[in-house]
Structures are given as C-alpha cells and as structure tokens.
Amino acid sequence: MTPVAFRHRLAERGIDAQLLLLGPAAVFVAALFVYPFCYGIAVSLQPVEGGPFAAYQAFFRDAYQRDTIATTLRIALPAALLNVLASVPIAYRMRGRFRGKRVLTTVLVVPITLGTVLTAEGLLNFLGPTGWFNRVLLALGVVDAPVTLTHNYWGVFLSLVITGFPFAFLLVSSYLSGIDPSLEKAGAVLGAGWAQRFFRITLPLLAPGLATTFCLTFVLAFSVFPSAILVGDPSGTTRVISIAAYEAAYVRYDYAGGAAAAIIMGLVELVVIGVVLGLRSLLYTGSTAGGKG
Amino acid sequence: MTRVRRRIVATPAAWAVWGTVTLFFVGVAGVIGSVLVNSFATRWFDTWLPQGYTTEWYGQAWEEFTLLPVLGVTLVVCLLVAGVSVLVGVPAAYVLARRSFYGRRAVYLMFLLPILMPPIAYGIPLATVLYKYGFAGHLSGVVLANLVPSIPFVILTMTPFIEQIDPAVERAARMCGARTRQVFVRILAPLLVPGILAASILVVVRTVGMFELTFLTAGPDSQTLVVALFYSMSASGIRAQQSVDAMAVIYTAMMLVLLVVALRFVNPTQLVARVKEDPE
C-alpha cells in the first residue's frame, strides 16, 4: 500500500495530522499523571522486605492503618450526602428569578475559594471553647458548658460542609435550571400537587445530575487532608487515609507503604464513584427540555 | 395606573429553606469574622470582643513569614501554570470538541481521571518521581505538579466554548487558503478570548487554593501562600495566634480580589466545575 493510500485509510477513521494538536496535552498528562501512577504501583510492589504484596499486606494487617479507610468513609460519605441532599430543596426553592439572586450566588462562592486551610483556622476561632458560637449558646442558656466542636470529628465534618455545600448547591442549581419549567406546569394543569410534581417530574430528571454532583462533592470530601490535621484529631477519630499515606511516605520514609496507601486510597474512591455512576446509568439520561418528543 | 401589590406569604417550607441558608451564612460570617477580628486584637481570651485593637500583627506577619517572597512565588507559579495549561489545553480541547476518532473516549477518560482522583493519591507518587528527577523542592516542581489538574481542567472548560463556535467560519477560512495555524491565530483565538480568560482565571483561583500538591512538592523557598499558612498554623504555639490570623486575612483578601475579578468574566456555576455530562 502506498503511503498516500494508507493516510487516506487512516483519515477515513478520523485519524490525521490535526490530531497532533492533542499531543502536548497528552504528553503532559502521560508524563505527570500516568507515569507517576505506574511508578507508584511499581514502588508499592517493591518493599524493602517481603514479597511483592508485603506493603499491601502490612497496610491491611495493621488495624491503625486499615481503619483509616473506614474513618475516611465515615467522614466523607455523610458530608457529601448532606451537602447534596440539603442543596436540593434550597436550589428547588430558588429556581427562577428573584431580586438578589446574583448576589446570593456570589456570596456562596466565597467559602469555596477560601479553601480548607483558612476554613480550619476560622473554625478553630469560631467554634472553640471561648469562641462566639459557644458564647451564644451559653448566653441563650442552651448548654451549661461549652460544646467541643474542634479537634474532633465535628470540626472536620463542619469544614467539609462549609466548603462542600456551596459547591453542591451551585452544581444542583445549574442542573435544575436546565429542566424546562413547562413540564411541571403541564403536570400542574393535569392536577398534580407539588409533591407529585417534584417526585414524579423534577426529581427523576434531576437524579443523574445529583449522582454527578455527589461524585464531585465526594471527591472533595474524600481527599480531606489539611482540615483533618488542623481542626480534627489527626491521631484518632479523624485519622483519614491521606494522613496515613503522608505519614508513611514523609514521616517514616517507607516509600512502598506510602505508595501502597495512596493507591488504596485511589481505588477506594474509584469504587465508590463507580458504584454511584453505575446506579446512575440505570436512570433516565436524556433531554430535559420540553416540547414535542 | 394601579399597581397590584402581591402579598408576601411564607410557607413553612420557605421558612425552613431560608432559615437553613441564613444559618449557613451566619456560620460562614462567624468563621471569617472571628479570623478578621482576631487579627486586629491586642488580647482576646474570654470576652465577646478583644480588649483593644492594633495593626501591628500585620507588620509582624509580613516580616516574620517573609510574605513578600511568598507572594512573589505564588504569583509566578499561578501565571506559569495558567499560561502553560492554556497553551497546551486549548488545542487539545479543540480536537476533542470538533473531531471524532478512534480512541476518543479513552483520551477523554485520561483527561478526566486527574480531576476525579484525590490530589494526595496521585500527589505522593508524583512527588516521588519529581524528586527522582530533581524537580521537586524548586519552583519548577511546584509548577509541574500543579499542571496535572490544571491542563484537564482547561480542556474540560474550553470544550463547550469551542463547540459554540460555528464550524462554517473555520471552513470559510480554509476555503480562503488558511492553514491550521492561521485558523487558530486569526479565527479561533479572537473568538475564544472570553473563554480563555475565564479558564485562566479559574486556573489561577484553583492554583492559589491548591494545598496538597504544592505542599508535597514545595521546598523552603518555593512555598505558596496557602502552604506557608498551613505551616504557620500547624506550628502554633510558636507564633502568636493573631499573627497567623493576620496572614490568613491577607490570604483571604487575595482570594477575594481574584474572585471579584473572576466573577466579572465567569458565571458562578462555572467556578465549580464544568464537567460535560456525556462525552459523545
């Protein structure tokens, strides 16, 4: 086959010189993401002593390491669920136009940009034993002694809600704005109450978007690291898996253990996302616009 | 002409929704407010408000934490990351938006994974590789590490922008004899300026806030502001709390300025993510 004919056959399958534009990006991602990941897997399979899977065995044999998976999920799953579930009714109420909507969404973006480090610092001041929050509760007579909300599970949980809720809200409201309101109006004309309209029209159309939102919020919550150290209890109830991986690699200089923990972390997260996206594929995904079908 | 005044009625559901939102905002205001007040406080222990106010913590934070070089590093890192990821990401986004080819889904998945993975999970192997080749500990390592989530982010943000441009414009240019490079520089680039601005500002915002990757790869003279803030916080007891808070306020102010700039160009929902529903 002549080179020209070969090029034509490739071009028929959509492969030609223009695809080279993908090159630089593909090289960067391959060199900085795919290669390090494979390198990490290789490192984790070559521990200083023991067989190829010794680092993984050590991780699962040691309860102090193994329990970090459960700890991480215990923080990340409820936080992601709460963020998504709370933003549905709020976004549903705030559909449509009203005065001050742009200001409201702008203010909501602020906590996202603050990031977890600053949120942790603020939570330590605000929720601490002499912080404003406890002062208000004491002054109102709700509690007798200051509530401990920092350096434990709740500090980390609240920091995830503060950064994660606006994120979930903005995503959910952008999905909601894509659903044609005339579908609901049609339901109303046919005599459906608000509950029927919500549960039988809007929610099914929104559900795929909710699954995506949950995944993205969960990724944020799952990789919690700075706030688990600063506002949590990093050697006890909030010893999340990222802390275990970091300690193994940079405190104990056990590179195989650190790489193994990092890879276990990635796998656990992909499993959760895979389950959610698998459930999502059972749902209706298609046009959310009205009109003649 | 008479105006019909609508009666404002609040149902219990509305009360619950607005109540939750108000509670959330009170919490956020308390979090930011207590940092802000504390950074101006002389002494603040067991009272509602501090005993006196001063601005000396800012001067102290500026000198103690050598903030000027830290701010410089942050700026350089952000500009480099934004510049490189736009230069590399936009052509790739163009191909993904316009072409269908064998293996497109696999390429798309490769660009999606760095966004879906927790930064620590790929940051630790990445830092090991960067140390091996001598990049980590310097500015170049920090920039390289931050490019990993930024390039896919630019690609995912730019793809819808490119899809909006009518391909007929490009075809017309090609009919007139323009090569791919000319199509890019003289047709697409001017049309894409708003999208490129939006994408690069979003990359800057994300890079300023990106803690994990910078933390894992930065050396003593290549820390960005957020990493310096973390170190000063986790070493609490050595430094006065107010001094740390002053630094936190500087960080917040920087973020807010960026945010105001960003919101002039982008829709708030875009700031969050622009992952397309279905690649096909």
Q: Where are the alpha helices (DSSP H) in chain B?
A: 12-39, 56-64, 67-98, 104-116, 119-132, 139-164, 167-175, 180-182, 189-209, 212-217, 225-234, 241-265, 268-272
Res. A40: pLDDT tops 70 = yes
Q: Which residue has the tokens 């799953």?
A: A77
Judge whether A14 is closer than 8 Å to chain B, CB to CB.
yes
In a domain, A115, yes or no: yes
Residue A230 has pLDDT above 50, yes or no: yes
Q: How far is CA A268 from the centre of its chain?
A: 13
Residues of A in contact with B120 (CB under 8 A): 223, 225, 242, 245-246, 262, 265
Q: How many domains does chain A have?
A: 1
Q: Other CB atoms closer than 10 Å to residue B205's CB: what's the count?
A: 23
Q: Which residue has the tokens 């203010």?
A: A107
Chain Cα centroid distance, residue A36: 23
Contacts A–B by Cβ distance under 8 A: 250
- Amino acid in the structure at residue A243: I
How is residue A168 written in tokens?
């979930």
Q: What is the CATH number of the domain that holds A112?
A: 1.10.3720.10
Note whether A14 contacts B152, CB cutoff 8 Å.
no
Cβ atoms of B217 and A122 within 8 Å: the answer is: no
Any domain includes A286 = no
Chain B from 190 to 229: CB within 8 A of any A CB: 205, 209, 211-212, 215, 226, 229
pLDDT attached to residue B269: 56
Closest approach of B112 to chain A, Cα-based (Å): 10
* Residues B199-212: tens digit of each pLDDT: 888 888 888 888 88
Residues A87-130: pLDDT tens digits? 888 888 877 667 777 777 777 777 777 767 778 888 888 887 77
Tell me what pLDDT residue B274 has. 44
What sign results for the dihedral spanned by CA atoms A105, A107, A108, A109?
positive
Please report residues of A whose CB lies closer than 8 A to that of B122: 33, 36-37, 40, 262, 266
Report the greatest alpha carbon distance in chain A.
88
- Is A52 inside any structural domain? no
Query: Would the CB atoms of B268 and A34 count as touching at under 8 Å?
Result: no
Share of chain A above pLDDT 70, in %: 94
Q: Is A118 in contact with B35 (Cβ distance < 8 A)? A: yes
Tell me, yes or no, whether A10 lies in a domain: no
Q: Quote the pLDDT of residue B84.
A: 92
What domains sit in chain B, N to C, each tagged with a CATH number? 13-54 (no CATH), 66-272 (1.10.3720.10)
Could you give the CA distance from residue B119 to residue B171 in angstroms, rounded to a whole number? 41
Position A58 in a domain: no
Tokens linked to A212: 């995506």
Measured distance CA(B254)–CA(A114) in Å, rounded: 10
Residue A235, in any domain of the structure: yes
In tens, the pLDDT along A182-191 reads 888 888 899 8
CA distance B33 to chain A (A): 8
**Helix A255-280 crosses helix A203-222 at what angle (to 10 degrees)?**
180
A255: domain range? 71-280
User: Does the pLDDT value for residue A56 go beyond 70?
Assistant: yes
Domain annotation covers residue A37:
no
For residue A196, tell me if it sits in a domain. yes
Quick check: helix, strand or coil at residue A284?
Answer: coil
Stated length of chain B: 280
> Tokens standing for B129?
């590789």
How does pLDDT run along chain B (280 residues), one tens digit per residue? 455 565 556 677 778 888 888 888 888 888 888 888 887 877 766 677 777 777 777 777 777 777 788 888 888 888 999 999 998 888 888 888 887 777 788 888 888 888 888 888 888 888 888 888 888 778 888 899 889 889 988 888 888 778 878 888 888 888 888 888 888 888 888 888 878 887 888 888 888 888 888 888 887 778 888 888 888 777 766 667 777 788 888 888 888 887 777 777 766 555 554 443 333 3
